[in-house]
Structure 1
Amino acid sequence: MPTSFSPCGQPPSSSPRGSPPPPALAAKLIASHFSGPVYTLDLTLANATSGTLKIAGQVDNGCGRIPAWLTVDKATNSVYCFDESWYGSGVLAQFAADDQAVLTPKAQAPTLGNSVFGALYGGDDDKGFVVTAEYSPSTITTYKLPLSASSKPVQKLSFTMPKPGPRPDRQDKPHPHAAFLDPTKEFMVVPDLGADVTRIFKINKATGELTACPTAASLSGDGPRHGEFLETKGGLRYYSLNEVASSVGMYNVTYAGEGGCLTLDLVQTLSTFGDRKGQTTEKAAELRIAGDFLYASNRNDQKFGKELDSLAIFKLDTAGEGTMSFMELTNSHGFFPRPFQINKAGDLVAIGGQTTANVAVVVRDAATGKLGPLVANINLPPRGTYMGEDGLSAVLWYE
């Protein structure tokens, strides 16, 4: 670590000789809990490896009954929250953030519930519509922005499969789990955990309509859940986090030309545990890329002790074809690390422990890709139950 540290890229502040510099407010985070609250968190740093997290704001029941996912639009000071309610109805919520990132409910739209993910897309600024992924109904649904109580779906797409997959307890039917835009923002990819495919759609930016392209297959039993695109010297690549198999797949991305479809071709698949396969009780959760490194969260491996799961780190050949090399497992400082995100500066990682209902912030070395000491940790009760859909659901940097 450097001998001096200045958070957020600011020059070190002067202080009287012999007295320590005052703590610096480093960042704001937004977190949600499956029991209903959505929090604003303040991260304050005393030095490069020590700080505190505290609750700066809290909204109860502003995102329905089971907030599951968050999307930040810093340009409009907005936070969108997606309700995983299993009770036949739910909400899609928008919050306004003030200059301290404290949230105020702004709008809600009714949904059928069970939304596990959402993303903005389309329109003149690629923020004209929002898509939600519904896990058990096997659907994705789109809505026009801005939201209101009278908002209705623009489009609802339902998926089927002829028979259960190789893991019928997890792959009994299609389970769309996310929706991501490609770098051109002309296409949307939807990982389908149940059907072992990544669904691809062409976007009509004016109307928000999605038109299906041919799907991209994963390995049998992979269970794709999340993903991210990356431009390498060898071309554009897509990396898929596979929950069921606890693995990451790397795909070559090609475009068929004007009017054509985006295609994904699987090139490489590696376990998120390095030299062993994931067990049936272990579940990979999320994937993030920063620089030449890819990170994936593992739930229920307890690699670092009781209720201390891991993050996997991979080195990416960004100067070549984008292939992955497993590096190591590192401590997530929580149990069932469902969400995590790297800050824009690339020097801190926020990790959400679902079952332990905590947010941990750790140091990241951008040069080596390794994660370092625990900087700060906060518990946001109530604690989740083992293998339950409760506890902490999401955490994001608000920047």
Structure 2
Amino acid sequence: MKALLSFLLLLSPAIAHGGHGHRHANQTIYASHYSGKVYTLQFDPNSGRLSEAQSLKTCGKKPSWLTIDHESNTLYCLDEAEGDEPGHLFAYSIKADGTLEETAHVDTLPGPVHAAIYGQNKKFIATANSRASAFQIFSLPLDDSTQPLEVRFEDPNSEPYGVYVDPIKQSSLFILDKGIDMIHVYTIAGIDGHLEGCESLDLSNDFQPEGRIGVRRAAFTKTGDDQGRLHLIGDISNSMYLYDLSYTSTGGGRPLLPLNQDTAEKPKSCPSLAAGNGSVHWRDFTPVTSYDVGTSYPAEIKATGDRDLYTSYCGDGHFGSDDSILEICEAKSGQVSCGYRREEEKLKSTGQDILFSRKVSPSYGQCPRSFDVNPHGSLLAFANRISSTVAIVPRKPKSYGALGNLITEIQIGAKGNPHQRDGLSSVVWGKEEEVDDFHVDHGF
């Protein structure tokens, strides 16, 4: 068994947690399954046990994505549905014991696959509707009569696949358009959720790939008070890309018509995005891995703490039957912040900003479509779609976000199949009480 049961079940809580005897409270995880169910799981850090607390037949035919608002204790689920059928957005209140109660659901345009909460006091949620060439905005709290604002793109090949709020200023919305490999950027103009168009960035023009990119997911890291980087993964090109992000200068992309306005003049608050053109270098100091176009693809990318960056791969089988996750490090201006002494002199000698994958770790399952770091930053949970397992590994937030070995796992529902919309689709951590670091030495 992959889980290290000798540590989890045989050690006393005092020994297992660094000898201080502190007992951590149970932590909640929510997972969606393409069979039409949403699960509440309970993880007990004292025993290492991960168990199913609730199974709801909900979120339509094809639950594709979960988004959580910890402040309002609300979980949102997207139903991708089938073909040209309407999709759905469901809202659930999170009860004191962590279980869910449905409070509202509304129809959406077809194919919602990703969502982000934005605006002052988190009053709005935006959904990327891949099969409708559109995205939608719903006011919160959601009720059954909520009517969305719809933004449809003129290109029939447009396929919005991701929607993100930049974490630097919380003032811009980014729509990833997988169908035509573009990023549509809007500025959040007011407390009423109104958006104004900034620009559309053409990834094919900026990065000159040999074929399509298939831009899928994004993550932001911070490099200064008004500066950062937008990291992107393409599941067709099987590659990573980045833009330098700044709020101190004007952008250079194609102007995007502001919503509900008659002028294409760019708002003053738009960010500037410049494709990485040599100022940032990619170095791979890990053994060569077989990320082959057609057999594997990057499925998810996330950043934690403005710095620690991770990318999961579906189908690479780098660890036998298990797929992999990359720990990616950003070294800014020769100042190493990655914790690997072997690389320090190499990085310092360049005096340049460098990204490199410092470690390849298993996802402890097949096709990690989604993963999430708990609010405390000490644990990472994978949603492995094909194996239909949730797997938990430890993370050291004070040690460059290093990941350890498997703590525990649980299979949920039926397994999935390659290149199908089945199996486990998404995972998020629930709210948790303030706890000490997870002190267990799990392969660090």
| TM bin (shorter chain) | 0.7 to 0.9
Q: Is 1:143 aligned to 2:138, yes or no?
A: yes
| 1:193–1:243 Cα contact (<8 Å) kept | no
Aligned pairs (5 A) from 1:228-377: 228-233=219-224, 235-255=227-247, 256=249, 259-267=268-276, 268=280, 275=288, 278-291=292-305, 292-306=307-321, 308-318=322-332, 323-366=354-397, 367-377=399-409
* Offset at residue 107 of structure 1 (A): 0.8
For the residue of structure 1 that corresponds to 2:404, the secondary structure is: strand
| 2:186–2:196 Cα contact (<8 Å) kept | yes
Partner deviation per Cα, 1:168-206 (whole Å, 9 max, x = no partner): xxxxx2221111111222210112222222211122333
For the residue of structure 1 that corresponds to 2:71, the secondary structure is: helix
Aligned pairs (5 A) from 1:195-234: 195-218=180-203, 219=207, 220=209, 221-233=212-224
Identity of matched residues, % = 27
Rate the CA distance shift 1:118–1:269 in 2: closer, same or farther, 3 A. farther
* Offset at residue 354 of structure 1 (A): 0.5
Please tell me the residue identity of whatever aligns with 2:40: T
Match of 2:341 in 1: none
| 2:32–2:425 Cα contact (<8 Å) kept | yes
Match of 1:16 in 2: none
Q: Structure 1: how far apart are the matches of 2:110 and 2:20?
A: 47
Please tell me the residue identity of whatever aligns with 2:429: W
Match of 1:90 in 2: 87
Rate the CA distance shift 1:329–1:184 in 2: closer, same or farther, 3 A. same
Rate the CA distance shift 1:5–1:216 in 2: closer, same or farther, 3 A. farther
Bigger drift between 91-100 and 268-277 goes to 268-277
Match of 1:111 in 2: 108
* Offset at residue 35 of structure 1 (A): 0.9
For the residue of structure 2 that corresponds to 1:373, the secondary structure is: coil
Q: Is 1:53 aligned to 2:20, yes or no?
A: no
Please tell me the residue identity of whatever aligns with 1:305: G
| 2:291–2:316 Cα contact (<8 Å) kept | no
Q: Structure 2: how far apart are the matches of 1:334 and 1:32?
A: 16
| 1:249–1:269 Cα contact (<8 Å) kept | no
Please tell me the residue identity of whatever aligns with 1:296: T
Please tell me the residue identity of whatever aligns with 2:51: K
Q: Structure 2: how far apart are the matches of 1:318 and 1:101?
A: 40
Please tell me the residue identity of whatever aligns with 1:65: K
Q: Structure 2: how far apart are the matches of 1:236 and 1:133?
A: 23
Q: Structure 1: how far apart are the matches of 2:415 and 2:88?
A: 24
Q: Is 1:69 aligned to 2:54, yes or no?
A: no
Match of 1:12 in 2: 21
What is the root-mean-square deviation of aligned Cα atoms in Å? 2.7
| 1:237–1:322 Cα contact (<8 Å) kept | no
Match of 1:27 in 2: 27
Structure 1 length-normalised TM = 0.85
* Offset at residue 210 of structure 1 (A): 2.5
Q: Structure 2: how far apart are the matches of 1:233 and 1:205?
A: 25
| 1:286–1:296 Cα contact (<8 Å) kept | yes
Match of 1:397 in 2: 429
Structure 2 length-normalised TM = 0.76
Q: Is 1:180 aligned to 2:164, yes or no?
A: yes
Please tell me the residue identity of whatever aligns with 2:218: G
| 1:139–1:159 Cα contact (<8 Å) kept | no
| 2:314–2:369 Cα contact (<8 Å) kept | yes
Please tell me the residue identity of whatever aligns with 2:78: F
Greater per-residue helix proportion: 2
Q: Structure 1: how far apart are the matches of 2:283 and 2:318?
A: 15
